[in-house]
């Protein structure tokens, strides 16, 4: 075995997958190599339901965490991004988490926004669950200094604690470049909500070089499409109402069924069997399948799914794989 004095630990990491994909980590050859290693070996193979021989012989065994995200939203910046005025056109805050989750999906990230920090100078006690209000001084009194300080403090604390794998920022504060870099060194991905000008960074560097530097530091630039803007600007079901009307959900059931049926009909039999085995012991569905389904449905509907619609889709996938949905699985 090769040995280098500048290496302290060996980490073996593999994301989730089918049992066939992960069977390599049950081989005697890999287990012996880990056991005989002069350096400690840490494994991170699959998700909570997966356990392999490599995990048994490793110095420490960990599991891939479910992707989750937090959003730090400067109210004034988001109003500017949406073209709203705080007094007459408030943001539909109940839609923030699902809309931002959908925006992350657009760049290939299946990550649920579980919490939103809302930096505002206006107190509001009627807030959705998962939205944390950060009261700051009015911008016209301190130029936005308190909002910048509060957001920077939260970004630093969340990054150091590695509380989330993804942080979404809605701010144009160029002083955050160094903190974003620190967050990335901790293994956290940072994404910034940006405007259409961010599509042309070459021109933006000429017009606003500091803003361009901030955007370039981020792992990705997130643009709100017309549907996201509509959902954030125009509450569809009234203030404070988070549930999608049942008739709306039922109206998209045939579309969801068609997408699930098309996917299932193209899955090879060995992968079908692996999925059946996995779902029999797991309450969720594999992340790669979840991402694929969400992307295909979003293309079909040309919009982001609500939480209730995502739950319906995932229930239909489970039912199809386990043979419980005769309407969908029989056609496959």
C-alpha 322/C-alpha 319 separation (Å) is 5
Residues 6+ apart with CB under 8 A from 61: 42, 43, 44, 45, 51, 55
Most confident range, picked from 56-65, 83-92, 252-261, 303-312: 252-261
Class of domain 68-233: alpha beta
pTM to 2 decimal places: 0.58
Higher pLDDT, 276 or 327: 276
Mean pLDDT (whole number) for 146-175: 92
Q: What distances in angstroms separate CA 119 from CA 8, 135, 171, one per listed residue?
A: 42, 6, 10
C-alpha 304/C-alpha 309 separation (Å) is 9
Whether 99 contacts 231, CB under 8 Å: yes
pLDDT category at 181 given cuts 50, 70, 90 is very high
The domain ranges of the chain are 10-62, 68-233, 246-329
| Predicted local confidence at residue 243, as pLDDT | 45
The pLDDT tens digits for 228-270 are 888 888 654 444 434 445 556 778 889 999 999 999 999 899 8
């Amino acid at each position: 075995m090769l040995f280098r004095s500048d290496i302290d630990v060996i980490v073996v990491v593999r994301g989730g997958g089918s049992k066939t994909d992960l069977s390599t980590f049950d081989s005697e050859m890999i287990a012996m190599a880990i056991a005989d290693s002069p350096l400690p070996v840490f494994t991170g193979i699959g998700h909570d339901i997966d356990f392999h021989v490599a995990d048994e012989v490793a110095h420490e065994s960990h599991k891939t965490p479910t992707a989750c995200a937090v959003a730090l939203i400067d109210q004034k910046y988001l109003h500017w991004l949406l073209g709203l005025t705080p007094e007459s056109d408030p943001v539909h805050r109940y839609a923030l988490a699902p809309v931002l989750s959908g925006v992350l999906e657009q760049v290939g990230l299946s990550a649920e926004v579980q919490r939103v920090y809302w930096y505002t100078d206006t107190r509001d006690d009627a807030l959705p669950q998962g939205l944390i209000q950060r009261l700051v001084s009015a911008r016209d009194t301190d130029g936005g200094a308190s909002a910048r300080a509060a957001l920077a403090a939260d970004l630093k604390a969340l990054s150091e604690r590695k509380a989330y794998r993804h942080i979404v920022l809605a701010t144009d504060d160029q002083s955050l470049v160094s903190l974003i870099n620190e967050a990335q060194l901790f293994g956290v991905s940072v994404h910034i909500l940006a405007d259409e000008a961010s599509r042309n960074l070459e021109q933006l560097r000429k017009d606003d070089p500091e803003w361009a530097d901030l955007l370039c530091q981020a792992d990705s630039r997130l643009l709100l499409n017309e549907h996201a803007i509509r959902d954030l600007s125009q509450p569809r079901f009234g203030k404070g109402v988070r549930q999608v009307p049942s008739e709306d959900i039922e109206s998209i059931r045939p579309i969801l069924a068609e997408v699930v049926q098309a996917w299932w009909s193209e899955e090879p039999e060995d992968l079908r069997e692996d999925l059946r085995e996995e779902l029999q012991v797991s309450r969720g569905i594999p992340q790669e399948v979840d991402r694929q389904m969400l992307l295909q449905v979003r293309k079909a509907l040309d919009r982001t799914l609500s939480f209730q619609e995502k739950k319906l889709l995932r229930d239909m996938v489970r039912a199809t794989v386990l043979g419980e949905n005769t309407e969908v699985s029989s056609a496959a």
